[in-house]
Amino acid sequence: MLLVVAAGCSKPVEDNIYCDVTLRLSLPGGKEVASMTVNPALRGNMFKNINTGINYPYPEFVGDVCKMTVQKGVYMIAFDGDVVYSDGTSGLVRFTGYNSLSNVRNLLEDEETVELSVIVLR
């Protein structure tokens, strides 16, 4: 009888549904970043799970790093970010590395680090 009840558990199921993601900015020329914010109202900015449709807001980058927790899955990642450099100047950078269904990022481990090689717009 117990075997019958246990039979429903035979298929391996991932226990932890969440992934702790570290996003790390990489600027051309090695310019140092003090902080960066991503405007959530801009439609092209996304950190979107392609299966569930959940679009996560970006936390503020402190230095060139930010951390966030998302559901494990397949993601489209793209943004325009308002950046403040270490020398006090500001600018605009863009990341389009994972911006379409044919170009996505899998976040399937408990911890993942994503390198974001941005281009400087301004």
Partner 1 sequence: MRRLLVISFMLLSIAAVDAQDLSSRRMARQSSVLRASEIDGSVAAYLYGPWSSYTEAGVLLKGRDEKAPEYVQEGNGENLGIVDIRTLVRMDSLSAVRGSVRYSNGLRRNVCWNSSSDFRLLYPYVMADSIGGNLSREQYEFSGSYAARRGRWHYGLGAQYRALHEYRQVDPRPRNIVSDLSASASAGYQFGGSVLDLTVSYRKYVQSQNVDFFNERGANTTEFHFTGLGSHFYRYMGSNSSLLQTRYEGEGVSMAASIFPVSVYGFRARLAASSFNIAHCLTNQSDVPYTYLYTRTLFASAGHIGHDGDLSYSIDLYGDLEDRRGTESVIDNGGGGYYAELMHFKMYSATSFEGGLRGTFELARPYGTWTVAPSACYDRFFSDYEYPYRKMMFSDFRASIEAGFIKDWKSWIFSGSVAGGCVKALSDELEIPDDYTIPEIKDAYEALFARHTSDLRSAGLRLYAEKMLSRRFSLGLDASCKRLFLSGAGNSDYYELSISVNF
> Which amino acid would we find at residue 70?
V
The nearest distance, CB 93 to partner 1, in angstroms, is 25
The nearest distance, CB 49 to partner 1, in angstroms, is 8
To which residue do tokens 């405007």 refer? 39
Task: Give the separation between CA 120 and CA 27, rounded to whole angstroms.
Answer: 8
How many CA atoms does the CB half-sphere of 77 hold within 13 Å?
20
Closer by beta carbon to partner 1, 49 or else 81: 49
The nearest distance, CB 52 to partner 1, in angstroms, is 6
Task: Give the separation between CA 31 and CA 35, rounded to whole angstroms.
Answer: 12
The nearest distance, CB 47 to partner 1, in angstroms, is 14
Closer by beta carbon to partner 1, 29 or else 102: 102
User: Do the Cβ atoms of 77 and 105 come closer than 8 Å?
Assistant: yes
In the complex, the residues that contact partner 1 under the rule CB under 8 A are 1-2, 4-9, 11, 13-18, 50-54, 71-74, 101-102, 104, 106, 108
Task: Give the separation between CA 79 and CA 118, rounded to whole angstroms.
Answer: 9
Closer by beta carbon to partner 1, 14 or else 87: 14
Closer by beta carbon to partner 1, 27 or else 77: 77
